[in-house]
Amino acid sequence: MNTPGSLMAAEINEIPRVFQAIADHSAEYTKLITELNLSTFDSVILVARGTSDNAALYLKYLIETMVGIPVGLASPSVVTIYGATLKFKNCLVIALSQSGQSPDLIAYATAAKAGGAKVLALTNSPESPLAHVADCHLYLLAGEERAVAATKSYSAQLLLSLVVASAWSKSAIDFGALIAETTKNVQRGEQIKKIADAFDHAPGVTTLGRGFAYCNAHEAALKIKETLKAPVSSFSSADYLHGPISSLKESSRVIFIAPAGAALEGMSASVNRIRELTPHIYWIGGGAEPSANEISLGGSNLPEKLAVIADSVILQQFALYLALKNGLNPDAPIGLLKVTKTT
């Protein structure tokens, strides 16, 4: 029997290797992406569930800022429950899924093709039903992921999302810097464990991010919910000021996802307001600006888009150690399945 958390820890440690594999195949990915005749699309729809939905949020920001095409997030139930027939003229549908087996994603992709869309799928299973439905499939190259909570497959989805947007916008990716900084973040484990061991989640936890890092705010909350079995809220730092902040108490814990970059300045109003309400503030990211009593879990020294990818391992390690500290096994949380087949 495996030691609790050993699978999740090992898979986080594999992430730099996964990134290297993606870098080694980047020319192949670019060829496949450009063969979709990208100039014919004037809109993009993303479809995903769970952790993949958080990666899709990152891809939305990438395409809109790098390509200049509006991107929407699909509601698969429109097709699977309500039976709507959708028109997808000049539309690229991108489906993100670790397993490629969720029936609602497969149904939506099939309906999209019938409605005139081209479908691009990003999965960790080249032989999955979703991969076969797609016009183009990109393999995550993450290898088998045995822990129920997704880690290396999420980080791989982030990097492949950047590969897609970079191929479309004819931009370069500094894979060497990304892999080096990700390796440093993986090696922060002992520092992150000490912070997790002293972290009291009972008063309530909220994760906040903005811009490219918004996806990691949602993913941090999801990872803690999955592995710690505790409620965690996640918001855009801007949205948080429009009502949810009223639930914040002096004892509440707030985690800012804050890579250096344009979004950091946009978070300043939220940071200042929250500091008036609670002293229990934590930071993930190279743009962290902790005051004397606030705590930084670390972050990478990279441009914003790359930092989001490298820093994903920090939030994963934090969730891992929080679960272990509280006597739980993050490899196999009760009530969760590795492949969730929603319809």
Does 153 share its domain with 194?
no
CB atoms within 10 A of CB 64: 14
pLDDT at 335: 76
Tell me which of 122, 147, 173 is where a domain ends.
173
pLDDT at 62: 98
Tell me which of 173, 208, 238 is where a domain ends.
173
Whether residue 337 has pLDDT greater than 80: no
For 41-98, the pLDDT digits (tens) are: 999 999 999 999 999 999 999 999 999 999 999 999 999 999 999 999 999 999 999 9
pLDDT at 77: 96
Give the model's confidence band at 1: pLDDT under 50 very low, under 70 low, under 90 confident, else very high.
Answer: low
**Cα gap 62→213, rounded to integer Å:** 11
Does 284 share its domain with 212?
yes
- Domain count along the chain: 2
Whether residue 247 has pLDDT greater than 80: yes
Q: How are strands ordered across the β-sheet holding 118-123?
A: 71-73, 43-48, 91-97, 118-123, 136-139
Residue 99 tokens read as 């397993």
> CA torsion sign, 263 to 264 to 269 to 275?
positive
Does 294 share its domain with 320?
yes
* Residue 283 parent element (H or E): strand 281-284
The answer to whether 220 and 60 have CB atoms below 8 angstroms apart is no
Does 209 share its domain with 314?
yes
**Cα gap 187→297, rounded to integer Å:** 12
For 94-147, the pLDDT digits (tens) are: 999 999 999 999 999 999 999 999 999 999 999 999 999 999 999 999 999 999
Does 140 share its domain with 280?
no
Domain ranges, residue 298:
190-325
In a domain, 106, yes or no: yes
The CATH number of the domain where 82 resides is what?
3.40.50.10490
The answer to whether 11 and 147 have CB atoms below 8 angstroms apart is yes
**Cα gap 331→343, rounded to integer Å:** 25
Does 168 share its domain with 276?
no
For 147-180, the pLDDT digits (tens) are: 999 999 999 999 999 999 999 999 999 999 999 9
Give the model's confidence band at 334: pLDDT under 50 very low, under 70 low, under 90 confident, else very high.
Answer: confident
Whether residue 339 has pLDDT greater than 80: no
Whether residue 37 has pLDDT greater than 70: yes
Does 90 share its domain with 132?
yes
Does 208 share its domain with 77?
no
Does 60 share its domain with 127?
yes
Find the helix packing angle between 6-13 and 15-24, rounded to 10°: 40
Could you tell me the pTM of the whole model? 0.97
Does 62 share its domain with 33?
yes
The count of residues in the chain is 343
Does 239 share its domain with 151?
no
Does 108 share its domain with 213?
no
Within 8 A by CB and 6+ apart from 334, the residues are: 229
